[in-house]
Structure 1
Amino acid sequence: MTSTENRSLPVLLSIRGEQYFDGVDPDATELMTEGTMELSEEGLTLRYQESALTGMEGTVTTFELRGPRVTLTRSGAVNSQMIFEEGRQHTSLYETPFGELSVDIQTSRLRHNLTERGGVMEIRYSIAVEHTVTGRNCFKIRVKRK
């Protein structure tokens, strides 16, 4: 196998999402799911199917790790893209059945130690919808080879 070939590895993903709103206890969701991890020269890609648990059934979620930047893309029933880069703000459009919203993502922390053996990725960010901050969020994703 050459180093330019993509390798898709079956993985088990433990995804914990926390949302903090002022004056309210954090809202946490935890999802265990099977997915794939692809390694290429550009970086690493995690992909999994959303379930009824997340309310996004019929949606494929992809995390693309490229250097200091992580791009989260959802396609299917829900379509969106969010770009995380520590210390930077990125604006993207979020499609809803009622129209598109402008979403600003300000990433305060982006850390991962992911390799082909698995690892952990943590992203902390605040989100502003139509330029109004709606809360602070944290993703923690544990990846285990199956």
Structure 2
Amino acid sequence: MKKDVLVKVKGTQTNELGEKDSIELVTEGRFFIRDQHYYILYNETSLSGMEGTTTTLKVEPRRVTLNRMGTAEQKTTFEAGILNAGFYVTPYGTMKITVLPSKVEVDLTEQGGSINLEYELQVGQKKISDNQLEITVEHLESYA
């Protein structure tokens, strides 16, 4: 059964100089279970720079797969210690990106919960930044 939820996404990026940049997105989304895996769907906004893109997260106990479709396209799997290479397609061009997750923490139940990812981001073969991504899912009834 699909449920309407409030999705909070906080991303923090630290470059090689130690400079941090954070972005936080709060939006409505959908949350459901299929084949014993959790799924979170939400639409990106102009704040993330990906307006017109739908993000789907497939959440397993030790692996999170991010799939973006629309104006930006990307499929990335986060699994601690496993290098994952893919392409990030935007209206401005395509980049080869690689992630090396050091932490994949999943604390979800049918009531919602959180995901915490920490990973190194590479473009081409060059490290760009260390990243942290915190995603929380809360039922909208909590705000009624």
> Do both proteins adopt the same fold according to a TM-score greater than 0.5, normalized to the shorter chain?
yes
State the shift of 1:142 in Å: 1.2
| Aligned-residue offset at 1:116 | 1.0
2:123 aligned with 1:133: no
- Residues of 1 paired with 2:130 and 2:46: CA distance? 24
Unaligned residue ranges in structure 2 (runs of 5+): none
The partner residue of 2:75 within 78, 81, 84 is: 81
Q: How does the TM-score come out when normalised to structure 2?
A: 0.92
Contact kept in structure 1, 2:62 and 2:106, CA below 8 Å? no
**Matches of 2:117 and 2:36, distance apart in 1:** 20
2:136 match = 142
SS at match of 2:47: helix
Amino acid in structure 1 at the alignment position of 2:83 = Q
Q: Which residue of 2 aligns with 1:3?
A: none
Q: Following superposition of structure 1 onto structure 2, how do residues 11-50 of structure 1 map, counting pairs within 5 Å?
A: 11-50=5-44
Task: Name the counterpart of 1:99.
Answer: 93
For the residue of structure 2 that corresponds to 1:75, the secondary structure is strand
Unpaired runs of 5+ in structure 1?
1-6
Q: Which amino acid aligns with 1:73?
A: N
Tell me, yes or no, if the aligned pair for 2:42 and 2:55 is still in contact at 8 Å. Answer: yes
Q: Which moved more, 1:7-16 or 1:20-29?
A: 20-29
Aligned to 1:120: 114
Identity %: 31
Partner AA of 2:121 in structure 1: I
Compute the displacement of 1:131 (Å). Answer: 1.0
CA shift, 1:100, in A, is 2.5
Q: Once superposed, which parts of structure 1, at least 4 consecutive aligned residues long, lie more than 3 Å away? A: none
Aligned residue-pair number = 140
Whether the aligned pair in 1 keeps the contact of 2:71 and 2:90 (CA below 8 Å) is no
Aligned position for 1:4: none
